[in-house]
């Protein structure tokens, strides 16, 4: 298996640096025009520049793959940091990952198992059923008849990740010294924390089993079973679970599955993970969520636990404090709760978050006045809230809150896609309110004499 050499690493560094420098210089030029010339069509110029820049990043990501592709997929969800043109273009990378040749996959699997492929599998499909930035998945059948999904990590990816992280750190540190308002180091730090965990498939398997344990008493949420006898840090073999993609409204209807029930189970499953267990599946794009038809309603299948997040111990208390302040209409208390949840501002003052808290309060009151969240309002807020965050002096939003925002975005998007009407407040409230203590067991009866 070929490892990336010095020449390839230098070439990648040059490609990254050239793309970023071109965008940075364009930012400087447009800033100059806006300040000194102030053309009437400046907003259109900025929008056109952002889209062209996003498209150049997209091309580089598809070419370089690895961490760069993974990072750009991540940036595609960061509407709190980037203008909407970047989010729109880069979010399409979720579906644009060309697979590796079967020869490379075969070599990787055999190296991890220490045996020829046909000594373990009676069949192994050459074409992957899914390909992503760090790995791809193939359907196979073991010699003892188990139908499995084999997730194979790309052989060179670990070293490329280390190299790319080093290049990005150097590049963004240099820019941050010149441009205080152009500091992307927090994003690099988040990637440096998350991606190595995604490269450890043993960790991914444990995440899957942990979440599966949350739903042992429910029949409507499941995860694939891990086959540890065939798995390693770079090879994950699991039960092949098939179903309908959660966003495929037509297929759900054809299978006589009620989309409203799907939305309800999805909201409940995430509330259980985030608000009760403090650990959740954090990569919720529709390709990682399947729906199966069952006798008593839909069954939700969670796939791909490479990105899962442990929440801080005091997270739930912070959420409750924020919710109470929101219900009371107290924007100052909301701002205090936001600081307690980990929001950071440039000047470090709670008052700097007051304007954002007031906007959130006004938004909540608009939503509360409706029986359900109107799709047009939801779409408008999807752009307006990130715009407000970027305009305010917020310099850091904790990564777990960003990931939770992705979950909320998924739920909102699926509600529109499936045409469902679910009262999110009523669905979430039971998970926020304190749970009553379990009743004491009945005293043992005295034995009859």
Most confident of 162-176, 183-197, 299-313: 299-313
Mean pLDDT across 326-335: 87
Query: What whole-number distance in Å separates Cα of residue 161 and Cα of residue 384?
Result: 34
Phi-psi region of 319 (alpha: psi -120 to 50; beta: other; left: phi over 0): alpha
Q: Which of 59-63, 151-155, 228-232, 444-448 is predicted with the least confidence, judged by mean pLDDT?
A: 444-448
* pLDDT cut 90: percent of the chain above it: 36
Tell me whether strands 130-131 and 289-294 are parallel, antiparallel or unpaired.
Answer: unpaired
DSSP assignment letter at 226: B
Instruction: Kindly indicate the confidence band of residue 371, based on its pLDDT and cuts at 50, 70 and 90.
Output: very low
Distance in angstroms (rounded) separating the CA atoms of residues 244 and 265: 15
Stated pTM of the model? 0.78
Q: Which of 193-197, 256-260, 264-268 has the lowest mean pLDDT?
A: 193-197
Q: What's residue 442's pLDDT?
A: 55
pLDDT: is 406 or 439 the higher one? 406
**Residue whose tokens read 């009553």:** 436
Q: Residue 328: what pLDDT? A: 85
- Beta strand 308-310 with 279-281 is antiparallel
Give me the mean pLDDT over the 138-142 stretch: 98
Q: Please give the residue that has the higher pLDDT: either 177 or 190.
A: 190
CA distance 310 to 282: 10
Residue 316 pLDDT class (50, 70, 90 cuts): confident
Least confident of 41-50, 91-100, 422-431, 434-443: 434-443
Beta-carbon contacts of residue 3 (< 8 Å; ≥ 6 apart): 155, 156, 159
| Confidence check: pLDDT of 375 > 70 | no
Comparing 377 with 449, which gets the higher pLDDT? 377
Range with lowest mean pLDDT among 68-77, 214-223, 312-321: 68-77
pLDDT over threshold 60, residue 341: yes
Whether residue 260 contacts residue 421, with contact meaning beta carbons closer than 8 Å, is answered with yes
Summarize pLDDT for 379-400 with one digit per residue, the tens: 566 566 666 666 665 556 777 8
What is the structure's pLDDT at 78? 65
Which of 238 and 384 is assigned the larger pLDDT?
238
Overall CATH class of domain 101-153+200-241? alpha beta
Q: What are the tokens at 243?
A: 């179903």
Q: What is the pLDDT of residue 193?
A: 80
Region 241-269 average pLDDT: 92
Residue ranges, CATH 3.30.200.20, the chain: 101-153+200-241
Q: Across residues 111-123, what is the average pLDDT? A: 96
Per-residue model confidence (pLDDT) at position 192: 80
- The pLDDT of residue 448: 39
Q: Could you tell me which residue, 306 or 79, shows the higher pLDDT?
A: 306
Q: How far is it, in rounded angstroms, from Cα 70 to Cα 216?
A: 32
Between CA 315 and CA 224 the distance in angstroms is: 28
Residue 184 or 318, more confident: 318
In angstroms, the Cα distances linking 234 to 126, 199, 368 are: 19, 7, 48
Strands 289-294 and 344-345: unpaired
Question: Which two tokens mark 408?
Answer: 């909320």
- Give the model's pLDDT for residue 363: 73
Question: From the candidates 283, 296, 304, 442, which is the catalytic residue?
Answer: 283
Q: Is 283 a catalytic residue?
A: yes
Instruction: Kindly report which listed range (187-196, 201-210, 267-276) carries the lowest average pLDDT score.
Output: 187-196
Mean pLDDT of 233-239: 97
């Amino acid at each position: 298996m070929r490892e990336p050499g010095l020449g390839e690493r230098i070439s990648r560094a040059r490609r990254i640096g050239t793309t970023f420098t071109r965008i940075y210089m364009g930012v400087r030029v447009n800033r100059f025009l806006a300040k000194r010339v102030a053309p009437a069509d400046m907003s259109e110029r900025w929008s056109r520049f952002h889209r062209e820049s996003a498209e150049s990043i997209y091309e580089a990501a598809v070419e370089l793959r690895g961490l760069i592709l993974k990072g750009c997929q991540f940036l595609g969800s960061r509407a709190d940091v980037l203008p909407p043109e970047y989010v729109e273009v880069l979010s399409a990378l979720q579906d644009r990952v060309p697979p590796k040749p079967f020869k490379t996959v075969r070599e990787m699997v055999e190296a991890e198992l220490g045996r020829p492929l046909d000594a373990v599998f009676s069949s192994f499909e050459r074409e992957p059923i899914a390909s992503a930035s760090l790995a791809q998945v193939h359907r196979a059948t073991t010699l003892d008849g188990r139908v499995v999904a084999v997730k194979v990590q790309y052989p060179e990816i670990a070293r490329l990740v280390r190299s790319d992280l080093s290049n990005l750190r150097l590049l963004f540190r240099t820019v941050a010294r010149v441009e205080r308002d152009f500091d992307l180091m927090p994003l690099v730090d988040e990637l440096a924390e998350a991606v190595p965990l995604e490269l450890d498939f043993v960790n991914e398997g444990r995440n899957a089993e942990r979440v599966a344990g949350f739903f042992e008493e429910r029949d409507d949420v499941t995860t694939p079973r891990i086959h540890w006898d065939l798995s390693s840090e770079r090879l994950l073999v699991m039960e092949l679970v098939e179903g309908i993609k959660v966003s495929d409204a037509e297929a759900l209807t054809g299978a006589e599955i009620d989309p409203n029930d799907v939305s309800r189970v999805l909201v409940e499953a995430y509330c259980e993970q985030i608000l009760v267990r403090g650990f959740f599946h954090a990569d919720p794009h529709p390709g990682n969520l399947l729906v199966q038809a069952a006798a008593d309603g839909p069954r939700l299948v969670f796939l791909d636990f490479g990105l899962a997040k442990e929440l801080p111990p005091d997270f739930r208390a912070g959420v409750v404090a924020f919710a109470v302040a929101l219900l009371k209409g107290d924007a100052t208390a909301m701002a205090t709760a936001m600081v307690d949840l980990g929001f950071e501002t440039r000047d470090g003052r709670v008052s700097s978050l007051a304007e954002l808290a007031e906007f959130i309060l006004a938004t909540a009151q608009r939503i509360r006045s409706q029986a359900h969240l109107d799709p047009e309002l939801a779409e408008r807020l999807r752009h307006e809230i990130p715009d407000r965050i970027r305009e305010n002096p917020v310099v850091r939003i904790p990564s777990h809150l960003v990931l939770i925002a992705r979950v909320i975005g998924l739920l909102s998007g699926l509600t529109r896609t499936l045409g469902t009407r679910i009262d999110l407040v009523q669905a979430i409230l039971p998970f926020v309110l304190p749970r009553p203590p379990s009743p004491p067991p009945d005293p043992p009866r005295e034995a009859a004499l």
